[in-house]
Amino acid sequence: MKARVTVMLKTGVLDPQGEAIRHALGSLGFQGVNGVRQGKVIELDLAATDAAAAEAEVRAMCEKLLANTVIESYRVEIG
């Protein structure tokens, strides 16, 4: 079973990488980009066969390692 975790900085947390991307896009002539938030995607290949159990396990992984829940939020997709 596949799982995809998307991790993003929470709203209100400074995103220097996103700001650097926004600035670089403007320098390349892409106008009208008012904000950029940069994150990460983690894809997992799981042995689990039960979707609910797999999601619970991946959420536990996020809470313990994959996301810094103080400053980051995450979304889990099981498929």
Backbone angles phi, psi at 77, to 5 degrees: -120, 130
Q: What is the pLDDT of residues 50-75, one digit of tens each?
A: 999 999 999 999 999 999 999 999 99
Q: What's the CATH number of domain 2-78, 3.40.50.2020, 1.10.357.10, 3.30.1280.10, 3.40.50.300?
A: 3.30.1280.10
Q: What is the pLDDT of residues 6-43, one digit of tens each?
A: 999 999 999 999 999 999 999 999 999 999 999 999 99
State pTM to two decimals: 0.89
What is the rounded CA–CA span in Å between residue 16 and residue 27?
Answer: 16
- Residue position matching structure tokens 């320098």: 27
Q: What is the DSSP letter of 12?
A: T
8 A C-beta contact, residue 5 and residue 57: no
Domain boundaries, the chain: 2-78
β-bridge partners, 2: 45
